[in-house]
Amino acid sequence: MNLPNALTILRIFFVPMLVAALVQENFALHVRGVTVTNEWLSLAIFLLAAGTDLLDGFLARRWKQVTTIGTLLDPIADKLLVSAAMISLVQMRAMPGWMAILIIGREIAVSGLRAIAAAEGYIIKASDLGKTKMLSQVVAISCMMLSIRHPALHPASVVLMWGVIVFALLSAVSYFAKFWRKVDERVKNRRRQELLALERKRRARVRQRGSRAAGGLAGTIWKPPEVN
């Protein structure tokens, strides 16, 4: 396993730590006279995890260690991190539930498209719109985390989340418009080839049976009827 893939897996392990830090509302960590409340700890974990997303992609391209498993695992790790953060924020009533459902539903739909495309030999890489959406998610979620103890930031966080919704929908439309027809045609062609192969096998079996039947008739010895 190379370092970029290890960073991707590390980002997945940050997810339960983030949820645990967010849901502990009365948690406070005292370090050398400085009190770190749960929202600041959650923000630190979230930004650290998001930083691994930038770092693993940079290292993979710089060291030419881009792998298929990394390309597939990286967006899954991103979606787990973002979905966990949003669900926790909804639980804490810092984020409207319908926003989280809409964004997470988009993530599931795009993940499904990626899985189908991968099965047909296509690897869907993150587009510029997708990368912009991820950056806007990090900013909006960070602002919402801070709005837990600082309500004055809540209106700004909602506006930022609206931006996330716009980028999420635009990037989803872009992915489906670009790859859905290709994947659909590949699936139809594969099924057509499978049906043709089955038909050729069926005809071959029919011809083989016909040959055996003809051979059996040719090998039969004709005997004249007996005369009394």
Q: pLDDT tens for residues 181-221?
A: 777 777 777 778 888 888 888 888 888 887 776 666 555 55
Q: Residue 83 and residue 104: Cα distance in Å, rounded?
A: 6
Q: What is the pLDDT of residue 227?
A: 56
Contact status, residue 37 vs residue 28, Cβ threshold 8 Å? yes
Contact status, residue 123 vs residue 71, Cβ threshold 8 Å? yes
Residue type, 11: R
pTM exceeding the 0.85 threshold for the entire prediction:
no
Residues 6+ apart with CB under 8 A from 84: 15, 16, 18, 19
* Count of alpha carbons within 13 angstroms of residue 131, beta-carbon side: 8
Average confidence score pLDDT of the chain: 83
**Six-digit token string for 191:** 């099924």
- Residue in the structure block whose two tokens are 């005369």: 227
pLDDT confidence of 48, banded at 50, 70, 90?
very high
Contact status, residue 87 vs residue 100, Cβ threshold 8 Å? yes
146-171 mean pLDDT: 91
Q: Which domains does the chain have, with CATH numbers?
A: 3-189 (1.20.120.1760)
